Amino acid sequence: MKLGEISNIKTGLVLTRKKANIKYEIKDVYKLITLKNIEEDGVFNEEPFDTFESNDKLDKGYFTEEGDILVRLSHPYTAVYIDESKTGLLVPSYFAIIKLKTKDYIPEYITWYLNTDEAKKELIKSQTGTNISTTNKTILSSIDIKEFSKEDQNRIREIQKLYFKEKKLLIKLMEEKEKYYNAVINKLLKNEMRRN
């Protein structure tokens, strides 16, 4: 099944067209997703969202809704799932917004699949641009999505949730170990300085 057959795909807003250049032009201020907010493995990090001052009220189609999938249109083509905590964010034109139109697929499964090496190889084969390789919604539409039962898709979603949870815990553990290591080294250095 092609991604374009099971979803509607559109690109985000071209920000320069709606950016307020002077104070009195500002009609509204929105939270904006940027590349710095998303890790390469497809999760949001703790970076704060930028704000965007618009010279117009923006169409709701440019904002995230629960169940959406965003795909970065430049390398490494990272896909990220939008859950209820990430709704209402403005999506710029360097992301595609994918909205599934069938209940046969779950968005977390599609997100996982788009982040696999297999899907990324398809995108790389079709890349455009010389300095910065990019993709577009036509190329995204042509990606073959592996058909799994809903049960298997749910298993993949749960395994991925566990993977992300474990990865977060390991990063936290490494941070704590580093603090501990630094504290021990600093204590040893202070003791050595007192002796001298």
Measured CA to CA, the distance from residue 26 to residue 15 in angstroms comes to 14
C-alpha–C-alpha distance, residues 96 and 73, integer Å: 7
Residues 94 and 157 in one domain: no
Nearest partner of 120 among 83, 157, 72, judged by Cα? 72
> Does 39 lie in the same domain as 91?
yes
Which CATH number do you get for residue 123?
3.90.220.20
- 108, 129, 147 - which closes a domain: 147
Which range marks the domain in which residue 183 is found? 149-196
Q: Judge if 142 and 154 occupy the same domain.
A: no
- Asked if 127 and 186 sit in the same domain, the reply is no
Domain identity same for 85 and 141: yes
Per-residue pLDDT of the chain (196 residues; tens, 9 = 90+): 999 999 999 999 999 989 988 888 888 999 999 999 999 889 999 899 999 999 999 999 999 999 999 999 998 999 999 999 999 999 999 999 999 999 999 999 999 999 999 998 888 877 665 566 788 888 999 999 999 999 999 999 999 889 888 988 888 899 899 998 888 888 888 877 777 6
Same domain, 16 and 92: yes
- Tell me, yes or no, whether 45 and 102 share the same domain: yes
- The reply to whether 162 and 71 lie within a common domain is no
Structural domains counted in the chain: 2
Looking at the fold, whether 157 and 125 belong to one and the same domain comes out as no
Does 121 share its domain with 179?
A: no
Residue 108 and residue 21 share a domain = yes
Q: 135 and 56 in one domain?
A: yes
